[in-house]
């Protein structure tokens, strides 16, 4: 079984980096091979430009996007890790989604709307917020965040998605953050491996 981890947090020492470390350890424990796509370290170019659109209309993509699509195709599991900014994903991740999960690769349009092409795959999405779970629930912003990435993106293109947000990360104590990392272990442990793996 293979996993692709798409990571979108700048720097080296954030809590998201701690989550990434815990995810890779958990995958190693389950003997699941993985490739980390650290978008900031890669200096990924996130702008979906006119050339990208022209290529898609011609049924092709640039070499860098073809490489990412191969990694996505080969992976049974997609893991996305990122902080929530402005109630959405960081721009670099939004651009990755725009440029990589293209029409004809991740989905196609039929008479009743888009149909996902990345089926029989699992995804785990882990986000972090400064706001508390109570504040997000009271304002409805918790559903805004999850609907964008789960319903509006990954489920639409075929993934079976598990979503987890860790709230108020800067304001909780070390014990609470360790509990969050333990939950990361549990999430990864729930991955269904193909028969014979």
Determine the Cα–Cα distance for residues 143 and 50; give it in Å rounded to an integer.
32
Determine the Cα–Cα distance for residues 156 and 107; give it in Å rounded to an integer.
8
For residues 68-72, give the mean pLDDT: 98
Question: What's the pLDDT tens digit per position in 138-196?
Answer: 999 999 999 999 999 999 999 999 999 999 999 999 999 999 999 999 999 999 887 54
The number of CA neighbours under 13 Å toward the Cβ of 125 is: 22
User: What DSSP designation does 124 have?
Assistant: E
User: If you average pLDDT over every residue of the chain, what do you get?
Assistant: 95
């Amino acid at each position: 079984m293979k996993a692709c981890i798409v990571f979108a947090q700048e720097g080296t020492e954030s809590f998201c980096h701690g989550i990434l470390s815990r995810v890779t350890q958990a995958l190693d424990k389950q003997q699941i091979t993985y490739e980390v796509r650290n978008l900031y370290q890669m200096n990924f170019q996130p702008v979906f430009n006119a050339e990208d659109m022209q290529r898609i209309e011609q049924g092709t993509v640039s070499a860098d996007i073809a490489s990412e699509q191969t990694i996505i195709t080969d992976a049974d599991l997609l893991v996305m890790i990122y902080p929530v900014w402005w109630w959405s994903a960081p721009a670099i991740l939004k651009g990755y989604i725009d440029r990589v999960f293209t029409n004809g690769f991740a989905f196609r349009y039929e008479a009743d709307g888009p149909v996902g092409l990345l089926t029989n795959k699992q995804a785990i999405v882990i986000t972090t917020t400064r706001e508390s779970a109570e504040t997000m629930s009271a304002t409805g912003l918790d559903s805004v965040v999850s609907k964008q990435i789960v319903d509006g993106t990954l489920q639409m293109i075929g993934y079976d998605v598990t979503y987890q947000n860790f709230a108020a990360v800067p304001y909780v104590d070390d014990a609470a953050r360790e509990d969050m990392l333990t939950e990361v272990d549990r999430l990864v442990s729930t991955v269904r491996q193909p028969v014979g793996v």
